[in-house]
């Protein structure tokens, strides 16, 4: 019903959606209703109209045609069959026009209805226009020929205007219909494209939802104001672990710092940091309470639109509890083993020292003891390194130190122990540098850098040490012309137990702890250590330390 009403209010889009039978009835209805109007007018003011047999035949035929519109199952017949109704409409109109004579004028104008219907159908456009014209001509001329009236130019041209007016109406309707149809085609095409897009976007959404919910990583997407727009199931599970349910605020979640007990301030929580547009990786959090506490590694990335403007962020929560537990177990193991090794090793070194100082040793025994002593020193260094790694942050006591002197002495020691005659040392240290540092610890860093420079220059070359005051800090660098490292290897050079494949293959002694320890020592001083290296050309390690401002009464530490 809505659709019929909609059609009556000239909504053509709705009209196309009706069944063909309803459309045929609706198209015939205006003519039928006008005929009813003529009948009512005739009954009230021109009763003589009903005495005309031709008029009554016309009315009856019109009623039959309306009946046909209702009765015939147009949907099941070939599509254009319904056009027979507007074509046949000219016959009752002809009868009614002839029958009404001069009682009611203008009945011939009823031909406008079938003409419009034919033209608006959009089918056989030319034939429809011709049929409309001939139909209207028939309505005008047939009575002239079939009655006794004289056929002459006057009678023939009397109502000659009607067919031409109908032709003009037909053409106008045809043009309008064609343009409407073209517009409708465009709209329908857009509709179809939109439908395809909608289906595509629904499919993508389903895919995204499936992927997001099937990964074992908690995910949350925030818009540019920091409001969550998407969260996966894993994140919900993790939130439950931290005491959160659907509507729990971020600050009420039980998230802790590294000790697993101190609450992480809200401003440092990943969602808040991401909402502020920060990008971070591997940010560790202790999530929930013991004994179910988990360690999560969180990362945040920005979402940007095509113009590059931030549209929000995505934060991931990866459960790394097992990994962290394994790393802690490894550190504990290293600490225990090195501790257990240290005691017997101290005894061995003590007795070795005693033995080597004994008089009148056989040369063979003395050289054997020398080998044992050298190797026990290596073992001792390894144990010290392992213990130092296991203890984590090194303890330091920074005091104003004669840095230039310290460097000179470490170079001299390195030169003494250097067994590669192809390696030469050059010292470009500025005199009088005073650093605020723990001399034995920084000495350890220098020893490590110098021994590496020798170890990884098997083909020899220059080892250059530079130290100077730069931007209010002491900067020291050790450059060699040795094997160097690839950019990929360079990334891991300060990691614990890292060794390049070249060092491993060449069986150069080492366990990959020296640089990790050196980095920890330098950073504990508030400084930084970096490395530049070109494979096959050499490497430069540079570290910076705070400068000490020594007063006259202060004494310099010089070890």
499 binds ligand ADP (CB under 6 A): yes
Per CB under 6 A, the segment of 144-152, 164-172, 462-470, 483-491 that binds ligand ADP is: 483-491
Q: Which helix (H) or strand (E) holds 321?
A: helix 321-356
Judged by CB, which is closer to ligand ADP: 440, or 492?
A: 492
Q: Distance between CA 148 and CA 328 in Å, rounded?
A: 121
| Residue 40: partners with Cβ closer than 8 Å, 6 or more residues away | none
Q: Are 434 and 547 in contact (CB under 8 A)?
A: yes
| Residue 386: partners with Cβ closer than 8 Å, 6 or more residues away | 334, 335, 337, 338, 511, 513
Q: Distance between CA 526 and CA 324 in Å, rounded?
A: 26
503 binds ligand ADP (CB under 6 A): yes
How near is the Cβ of 246 to ligand ADP at its closest, in Å?
50
512 binds ligand ADP (CB under 6 A): yes
Window 420-479: residues binding ligand ADP (CB under 6 A): 448, 452-453, 456
How near is the Cβ of 450 to ligand ADP at its closest, in Å?
10
Instruction: Report helix, strand or coil for 393.
Output: coil
How near is the Cβ of 496 to ligand ADP at its closest, in Å?
8
532 binds ligand ADP (CB under 6 A): no
Alpha-carbon dihedral 122, 124, 128, 131, rounded to 10 degrees: -160
Helix 84-100, helix 125-146: angle, nearest 10: 30
Count of positions on this chain that bind ligand ADP (CB under 6 A):
22
How near is the Cβ of 462 to ligand ADP at its closest, in Å?
13
Window 275-294: residues binding ligand ADP (CB under 6 A): none
How near is the Cβ of 490 to ligand ADP at its closest, in Å?
9
Helix 403-417, helix 439-455: angle, nearest 10: 40
Judged by CB, which is closer to ligand ADP: 111, or 444?
A: 444
Question: Looking at beta carbons, which residue is closest to ligand ADP?
Answer: 510
493 binds ligand ADP (CB under 6 A): yes
Instruction: Report helix, strand or coil for 529.
Output: strand
How near is the Cβ of 388 to ligand ADP at its closest, in Å?
12
How near is the Cβ of 446 to ligand ADP at its closest, in Å?
12
How near is the Cβ of 480 to ligand ADP at its closest, in Å?
5
Strands 423-429 and 461-470: parallel
345 binds ligand ADP (CB under 6 A): no
Window 53-92: residues binding ligand ADP (CB under 6 A): none
Supply the DSSP symbol for 48.
Answer: G
Residue (of 518, 521, 431, 417) closest to 474 by Cα position: 431
388 binds ligand ADP (CB under 6 A): no
| Residue 339: partners with Cβ closer than 8 Å, 6 or more residues away | 387
How near is the Cβ of 476 to ligand ADP at its closest, in Å?
15
Judged by CB, which is closer to ligand ADP: 276, or 377?
A: 377
Window 133-172: residues binding ligand ADP (CB under 6 A): none
How near is the Cβ of 543 to ligand ADP at its closest, in Å?
13
510 binds ligand ADP (CB under 6 A): yes
Strands 473-479 and 528-534: unpaired
Q: Distance between CA 436 and CA 557 in Å, rounded?
A: 10
Judged by CB, which is closer to ligand ADP: 109, or 511?
A: 511
Per CB under 6 A, the segment of 59-67, 279-287, 342-350, 514-522 that binds ligand ADP is: 514-522
Among 88, 341, 511, 550, binds ligand ADP (CB under 6 A): 511
Per CB under 6 A, the segment of 103-111, 360-368, 495-503, 522-530 that binds ligand ADP is: 495-503
519 binds ligand ADP (CB under 6 A): no
Judged by CB, which is closer to ligand ADP: 26, or 382?
A: 382
Paired with 169 in beta bridges are none
Which sign, positive or negative, has the C-alpha torsion 218, 222, 227, 230? negative
Q: Distance between CA 141 and CA 158 in Å, rounded?
A: 10
Among 132, 136, 480, 527, binds ligand ADP (CB under 6 A): 480
498 binds ligand ADP (CB under 6 A): yes
| Residue 294: partners with Cβ closer than 8 Å, 6 or more residues away | 238, 241, 286, 287, 288, 319, 321
The three state secondary structure string of 5-36 is HHHHCCCHHHHHCCCHHHHHHHHHHHHHHHHH
Per CB under 6 A, the segment of 28-36, 161-169, 213-221, 513-521 that binds ligand ADP is: 513-521
* Sites of contact with ligand ADP (CB under 6 A): 448, 452-453, 456, 480, 482-485, 493, 498-500, 503, 510-516, 539
């Amino acid at each position: 019903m809505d659709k019929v009403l909609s059609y009556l209010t000239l909504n053509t889009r709705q009209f196309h959606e009706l069944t063909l039978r309803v459309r045929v009835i609706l198209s015939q209805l205006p003519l039928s209703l006008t005929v009813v109007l003529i009948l009512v007018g005739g009954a009230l003011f021109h009763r003589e109209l009903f005495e005309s047999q031709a008029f009554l035949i016309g009315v009856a035929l019109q009623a039959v045609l309306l009946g046909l519109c209702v009765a015939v199952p147009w949907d099941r017949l070939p599509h254009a069959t319904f056009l027979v109704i507007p074509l046949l409409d000219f016959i009752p109109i002809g009868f009614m026009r002839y029958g009404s004579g001069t009682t009611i004028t203008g009945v011939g104008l009823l031909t406008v209805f079938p003409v419009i219907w034919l033209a608006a159908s959009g089918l056989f456009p030319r034939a429809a226009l011709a049929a409309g014209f001939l139909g209207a001509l028939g309505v005008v001329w047939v009575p002239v020929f079939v009655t006794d009236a004289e056929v002459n130019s006057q009678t023939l041209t009397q109502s000659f205007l009607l067919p031409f007016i109908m032709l003009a109406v037909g053409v106008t309707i045809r043009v309008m219909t064609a343009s409407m149809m073209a517009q409708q085609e465009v709209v329908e095409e857009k509709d179809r494209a939109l439908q395809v897009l909608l289906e595509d976007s629904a499919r993508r959404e389903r895919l995204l939802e499936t992927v997001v919910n099937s990964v074992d990583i908690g995910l949350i997407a925030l818009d540019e104001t920091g409001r969550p727009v998407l969260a996966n199931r894993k994140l919900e599970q993790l939130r439950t672990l931290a005491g959160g349910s659907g509507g729990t605020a971020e600050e009420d979640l039980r998230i802790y710092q590294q000790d697993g007990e101190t609450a992480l301030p809200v401003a440092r929580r990943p969602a808040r940091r991401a909402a502020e547009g920060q990008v971070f990786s591997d940010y560790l959090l202790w999530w929930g309470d013991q004994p179910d506490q988990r360690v999560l590694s969180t990362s945040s990335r920005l979402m940007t639109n095509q113009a590059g403007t931030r549209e929000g962020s995505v934060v991931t929560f990866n459960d790394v509890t097992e990994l962290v537990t394994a790393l802690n177990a490894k550190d504990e193991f290293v600490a225990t083993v090195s501790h257990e090794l240290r005691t017997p090793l101290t005894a061995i070194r003590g007795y070795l020292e005693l033995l080597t100082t004994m008089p009148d040793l056989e040369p063979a025994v003395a050289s054997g003891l020398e080998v044992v002593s050298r190797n026990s020193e290596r073992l001792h260094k390894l144990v010290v390194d392992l213990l130092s790694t296991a203890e984590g942050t090194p303890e330091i006591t920074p005091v104003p130190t004669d840095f230039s002197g310290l460097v000179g002495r470490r170079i001299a020691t390195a030169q003494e122990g250097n067994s590669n005659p192809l390696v030469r040392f050059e010292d470009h240290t500025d005199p009088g540098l005073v650093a605020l540092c723990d001399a034995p610890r920084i000495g350890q860093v220098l020893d490590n850098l110098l021994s590496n420079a020798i170890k990884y220059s098997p083909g020899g070359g220059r080892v250059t040490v530079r130290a100077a005051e730069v931007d209010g800090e002491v900067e020291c660098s050790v450059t060699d012309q040795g094997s160097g490292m690839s950019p990929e290897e360079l990334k891991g050079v300060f990691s614990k137990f890292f060794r390049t494949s070249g060092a491993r293959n060449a069986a150069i002694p080492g366990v990959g702890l020296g640089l990790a320890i050196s980095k920890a020592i330098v950073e504990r001083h508030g400084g930084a250590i970096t490395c530049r290296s070109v494979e096959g050309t050499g490497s430069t390690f540079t570290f910076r330390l705070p400068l000490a401002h020594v007063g006259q009464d202060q004494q310099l530490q010089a070890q």
